[in-house]
Structure 1
Amino acid sequence: MAPVLTFAYPGDLDTLTGGYLYDKHIIHELENLGWTVKRLSLGDAFPFSDAAALAAAADQLAIVPADSLLVIDGLALGAIGPLAKVFARRTGAAVTGCASAPISRGFVALVHHPLGLESGLSPEQSTALLASEAQALAHARHVIVNSPTTAATLESLFAIGPDRVSVVVPGTERPALDTQASHNDGEVSCREHSASPILLSVGSIIARKGYDVLVQALASLQTLDWELRIVGDPDRDPIVFEALTTQITRLGMSDRIRLLGALEPSALEHQYAQADLFVLASHYEGYGMAYAQAIARGLPVIGTTGGATAQTVAPGTGILVEPGDVESLSKAIAQLLSHPEQRQKIAQASRKHAHELPSWIESARRFSESLIKSDTQPAAPDPAQTCSH
């Protein structure tokens, strides 16, 4: 009998962001591995939900059938907070079918990065989200994270030890790797080119992605030849998007910076094919899927050391600077724009490293193993019954 999983998430699973793409790919590959996966949307109100929306989500999770494992995406779970106890004591037979009596099934948390570390939050919002996330994760039977950095962050912030955490890094589409293998390894690239070198940046237009830092860094490079294309959802934070468009206009770069919005995979693939350089000035990344996708396509990368990026961007595949360091970012971009031979050398390193990145089926196998392991572990201690001495 196929193991059954209910995968709960906020909003629309087809949203074109890294977290949702992770969820969607993992679900698809788990089904290919024989799992029956039931998709459960908890509504659009996260992470800043009112009490009624939170209670409704908790009620939905509490009635998930006992024969199903339950995974909850952290974007929703972190906001649910203490209400997690409502569905933390679900019972049923173990997924392996070896248990002689019902066991506590609880739920597995999937954390891409702590909600309270999102850029652009007020101190009060950050504190409230971190407190809520701590309460929710305290009830989790097991936690799956997307990088060793996220695992270490959860241990530091919430005292969640390694025995309760599994790391499942995102996969990378292998067709892109195969395409890059056909590129010329000499000085001349087979990429499509416009009249100017194309810089590509991919990620939702939110404060954490640091687009204001990138635009400011490019402002001092207007004597060089380049074009920047930004691919990302402009609706996630309208205030940040408006500020970005105002900044671009004020600096006189509207003719050199194109805001393309969120793109479907085929259209995004076309942008990767045309790009000469990938650059993203994120303040923090739980993993940095966009960086990995760029490396998989043989692009030289410029990024920051924020969060897990230094793990994702392997040595030799790019240049990393401190988050928010406009001057260093500007120098790194100028260096690679002015030295195409260095770009080519880094591109070769990216193509070589690309074959070491996991595929989505490999990541899904690891995810599956983590779920089965979690279903045989003792349940998380009830925080309400934990005594202090």
Structure 2
Amino acid sequence: MRHVIFVVPEGMDDPLRVSGGNVYDREVRDGLRRRGWTVDVREVAPGGVATAFADATGLVLVDGLCAAGAPEAVEDAAGPVVVLAHMVTASFPGVTSAAIEAERRALAAAHRVIATSRWTAAELERSGIPAARVAVAPPGTHAASLAAAQGRELLCVGVIAPHKGQDVLLDALAELRGDDWTCVLVGSPAPAPAFARQIARDASAFGGRVRMTGVLTGAALADEYARSAVVVAPSRVESAGMAIADARARGIPVIAADVGGIADTVSGGGAILVRPGDPAALAHALGEWMTDPALRDRLRREAAGVRAALPSWDDTIDLIEAALS
């Protein structure tokens, strides 16, 4: 009863493929194992999901990206299947109706669905998945030291891709007066190389004030958080926002697009939300933050004050365990 096959996209532990989904999946794998579960991880490339299900007669937990790519594997599974839905396909711009229908089939065939935010759960319900079959397990946080930076260092963490909105951030930065700020973009360029190359070209126009680091993990990423005074999340699509949660754990204020589940992630204060995809709105918020010491102080106090109430990864695993059980 405490054995699960966990089907995930290939490269879950690849340091060059860091994403919020991969981090969440690793935390689930490691958390369940710490609690005595046998977790048989099966990493699959696109098109290989059916093979991962071939001899699965017991409980299967499958990442939503894999399930959406092979709904027939979920429909034909010999045992119960739980889909871990990080996002809803229809939320992404330009997605095809075939992709939406494939995901709907997979979710409809699952015995249970775990959503990583209340917003995702609501989107699932709107797409026809009964609320009674959906559990919500928001990403947790690890204990981290309170950040003390009080300058004008901006940090944006996420894969360099259109849905993360780094182009919106650079357009907003171009509207700011003065040059007493720096910005660091952390994330892999691999998912959208053409977009990432354009971001690199646009970043170079700021004369060194915008720095792109590529993927960072561990101490190197922690150092960037420690140096940052505010985390900026200009996403066009976001279920919860892992980087935002990491900022919250450190008491770092957040300026973010009011999209998806971000409002839930920053509940409690310490954040400014702006219209998504709107460089002018983001520039206005950044300008206020940079020029108003009282605003900065208030946001820092609020961000520090919410740290004790943040969910831990143990809390997340409690919810995952309950859904699997």
Structure 2 match to 1:72: 62
Identity of matched residues, % = 33
Q: Within the alignment, does 1:207 sit opposite 2:162 as a pair? A: yes
- Distance in structure 2 (CA, Å) of the matches to 1:155 and 1:62: 29
2:126 to 143, 151, 156: 156
Asked whether the equivalents of residues 240 and 261 of structure 2 are also in contact (C-alpha less than 8 Å), the reply is: yes
Structure whose alpha-carbon radius of gyration is higher = 1
Q: CA deviation at 1:254?
A: 4.0
Matching of residues 116-131 of structure 1 within 5 Å: 116-119=90-93, 122=94, 125-131=95-101
- Distance in structure 2 (CA, Å) of the matches to 1:39 and 1:255: 42
Structure 2 match to 1:382: none
Q: Within the alignment, does 1:62 sit opposite 2:15 as a pair? A: no
Matching of residues 89-108 of structure 1 within 5 Å: 90=78, 105-108=79-82
Asked whether the equivalents of residues 213 and 281 of structure 1 are also in contact (C-alpha less than 8 Å), the reply is: yes
Q: Within the alignment, does 1:338 sit opposite 2:291 as a pair? A: yes
Asked whether the equivalents of residues 145 and 168 of structure 1 are also in contact (C-alpha less than 8 Å), the reply is: yes
Which deviates more from structure 2 when the two are superposed, residues 77-86 or residues 207-216? 77-86
Q: Tell me, what secondary structure is at the counterpart of 1:355?
A: helix
Q: CA deviation at 1:303?
A: 0.2
- Distance in structure 1 (CA, Å) of the matches to 2:300 and 2:142: 18
- Counterpart AA for 2:53: L
Structure 2 match to 1:165: 134
What runs of 5+ residues in structure 2 fail to find an aligned partner? none
Q: Tell me, what secondary structure is at the counterpart of 1:5?
A: strand
Q: Within the alignment, does 1:142 sit opposite 2:97 as a pair? A: no
Structure 2 match to 1:270: 223
Structure 2 match to 1:28: 30
Asked whether the equivalents of residues 86 and 115 of structure 2 are also in contact (C-alpha less than 8 Å), the reply is: yes
Structure 2 match to 1:101: none
- Distance in structure 2 (CA, Å) of the matches to 1:75 and 1:37: 19
TM-score normalised by L of structure 1: 0.80
- Counterpart AA for 2:136: V
Structure 2 match to 1:309: 262
Q: Tell me, what secondary structure is at the counterpart of 1:278?
A: strand
Q: Tell me, what secondary structure is at the counterpart of 1:310?
A: helix
Q: How many residues align?
A: 322
- Counterpart AA for 2:109: H
Structure 2 match to 1:386: none
Say if 1:111 and 1:274 are closer, same or farther in 2 by CA, change over 3 A.
Answer: same
Structure 2 match to 1:362: 315
Q: Within the alignment, does 1:132 sit opposite 2:102 as a pair? A: yes
How far does the alpha carbon of each residue in 1:274-295 deviate from its partner, in whole angstroms, 9 at most, with x for none?
A: 0011111001211111111111
Asked whether the equivalents of residues 62 and 86 of structure 1 are also in contact (C-alpha less than 8 Å), the reply is: no
Structure 2 match to 1:323: 276
What runs of 5+ residues in structure 1 fail to find an aligned partner? 46-52, 91-104, 184-189, 373-389
Runs of 4+ in 1 over 6 A off after TM superposition: none
How far does the alpha carbon of each residue in 1:191-247 deviate from its partner, in whole angstroms, 9 at most, with x for none?
A: 3x7xx6210000000110111000000001152410000111111110110121233
- Distance in structure 1 (CA, Å) of the matches to 2:130 and 2:63: 19
Q: CA deviation at 1:362?
A: 1.4
- Distance in structure 1 (CA, Å) of the matches to 2:242 and 2:63: 17
- Distance in structure 2 (CA, Å) of the matches to 1:293 and 1:131: 34
Q: Tell me, what secondary structure is at the counterpart of 1:8?
A: strand
Structure 2 match to 1:110: 84
Say if 1:220 and 1:343 are closer, same or farther in 2 by CA, change over 3 A.
Answer: same
Q: CA deviation at 1:81?
A: 2.5
TM-score normalised by L of structure 2: 0.95
Asked whether the equivalents of residues 141 and 246 of structure 2 are also in contact (C-alpha less than 8 Å), the reply is: yes
Asked whether the equivalents of residues 59 and 86 of structure 1 are also in contact (C-alpha less than 8 Å), the reply is: no
- Distance in structure 1 (CA, Å) of the matches to 2:211 and 2:262: 25
Q: CA deviation at 1:328?
A: 1.1
Asked whether the equivalents of residues 117 and 126 of structure 1 are also in contact (C-alpha less than 8 Å), the reply is: no
